[in-house]
A and B are shown apart, each in its own frame.
Chain A
Amino acid sequence: MNETPAKAPRPKKGNRRKIVLRPMAPIVPAGNIAGRSLMFVISIMSFLACLTLGAVIMVQDTANSWQSQISREITIQIRPEEGLDLAAELDKARDIALGFPGTTGATIMDDDATARLLEPWLGEGLDINELPVPRLVIITIDEASPPDFASMRSALDQAVANVYLDDHRTWVDRLVAMANTTVIIGLCVLALVFTATILTVVFATRGALSGNQHIVEVLHFVGAEASFVASHFQRHFFLIALKGAVAGGLAAAFTFAVASFWASNSLATPESDQASALFGGFSMGAGGYVGALAIVVITAVLTAMTTRVTVIHTIMEIDLIRSDPARSI
């Protein structure tokens, strides 16, 4: 306040301040509300798409594991009968089964194991010999080259009394049908999410571009070729989409990591057991991460392509006015 204007330094005559230019700004403005909104929309959609993909992969893995666990074993049942030496019949059945190629092991379920199996229904302290309970031989098989079940069934029928071979086929078929249905439903949901993502990206990009139409127009009028204008906008929106899609993909991977961490930290609790039974492990696997990466890339490329098409369409629209003056009003 004490300084008077007379004391303020004045530029000397002929010693004018040199103007330093800033680095050339990009032709398409770096950031605006439309661009940020687009990035946000893209990140949400890619998050949902990655999440759906992960869920589908998880369901498919779980279904495969159910199927594999059940089809890895077959069971030979022998019903007791008055005067039948059950232990000898069980040994005979086991030996016949082991004689077939494709059989990897056979275990006779002893009295205690059989009693444990019936415990939920008949209670503890059960004497298995007092009841006419069928006895089991559990046969493990090579899934890749299973034994010939028809021949095994015929051999058992001829040599063992009261025998029944259960290859779990009915169960496996039902389970396969259920698993396939679950996976098909998952794929349909994935297709819907993908379609929604594509449409959202296309419309959000067009919306963001409409705010920049005046730039397209000016560039066009100062003699820029359509490809020049399109490439600038394309690069700009590709980067926006890539940032958004990467953020969405990382968020989905993080969600799976957190779910997996929760599952591994709450092992043997009722919640975890229930979740594991339904969904298996909370892991997308390598395929899931490759799929998420593909979603990120597809989203970014799709945005860039939409931008290019929209810009070229806008330029064509500007030139179309030439042939129809009524449209310019």
Chain B
Amino acid sequence: MIDFDNVGLRYGMGPEVLRDVTFDIPERSFQFLTGPSGAGKTSLLRLMFMSLQPTRGFVRVFGKDITTIPQQELPKLRRRIGIVFQDFRLLDHLTTFENVALPLRVRGREESAYRTDVKELLKWVGLGDRMNVLPPILSGGEKQRAAIARALIDQPEILLADEPTGNVDAPLAQRLLRLFMELNKLGTAVIIATHDLSLMDQVDARRMILSGGRLEIYE
């Protein structure tokens, strides 16, 4: 679904933050992306989300070279990818329910068609009684769960999650991990960028370790 071929990335005239990165994300796969802070995990996720282009090498998403995808095609491809940003990016004037329903709303679906699904997902992530609350009132963990629910609501083909359990306690982190695994069983390829070793130890999954701009993969 995603192929990286000898990819290099640098910001401006700075050093290469990613060097000769080559890997692929197969369908229905589950993997962790890890490495020290500043190793380039977020940059790698941004490349996969097509919000960056490589300085060199090739990145193919759903079989298309991301450097040649026309701008008007990007929204349709991004709809197939769910992303959880490290800084959540929830809209402060929308309630938790409205934030989570946003991807469906921009696809032109009627609220009556998705109301039950959104409510169920919010209950599953433990935000059942926080549906009408605005993000500024939510705790860090609650915001994170809302951001995860927003990424999952349309059952994407690929889920990219940047530190999705960074602000939650261990039991909730486990619960979220179970959610990601269930989603994976339903057919979504999952890539979780995390520092949390204990989280990774709970699943026997591929580990992609970034260090000094290079990627090592442990199957």
Contacts and interface: CB of A to CB of B under 8 A. Distances in A.
A145 B10 CA distance: 83
* A20, A218, A325, A329 pick with most chain B CB within 10 angstroms: A325
Prevailing SS type, chain B contact patch: loop
Contact of B150 (A21, A215, A222): A222
B11 A325 contact: yes
A12 interface: no
Interface in B104-142: 105-108, 111, 115, 119, 128-129, 131-132
A321 B11 contact: no
B105 A27 contact: yes
Interface string A313-329: 00010110111111011
B51 A221 contact: yes
A329 B106 contact: no
A228 interface: yes
A143 interface: no
Contacts of A319: 71, 74
A316 B71 contact: yes
Range for the number of chain A residues in contact with chain B: 20 to 34
Contacts of B89: 214, 217-218, 221
Contacts of B85: 221
B106 A215 contact: no
A224 interface: yes
A223 B115 contact: no
B95 interface: yes
Contacts of A13: none
B157 interface: no
Interface in B43-90: 49-53, 55, 66-67, 71-72, 74-76, 78-79, 83, 85, 89-90
B175 interface: no
B162 interface: no
Interface centre among B55, B67, B74 (most CB of A within 10 A): B74
A325 B10 contact: yes
Contacts of A221: 49, 51, 78, 83, 85, 89
Q: Closest 4 interchain pairs by CB?
A: A326-B12, A223-B79, A224-B106, A29-B93
21 contacts: A19-B131, A21-B97, A21-B115, A21-B131, A22-B95, A25-B93, A25-B94, A27-B94, A27-B105, A214-B89, A214-B91, A218-B102, A220-B75, A222-B78, A222-B106, A224-B75, A226-B75, A321-B52, A322-B50, A325-B12, A325-B52
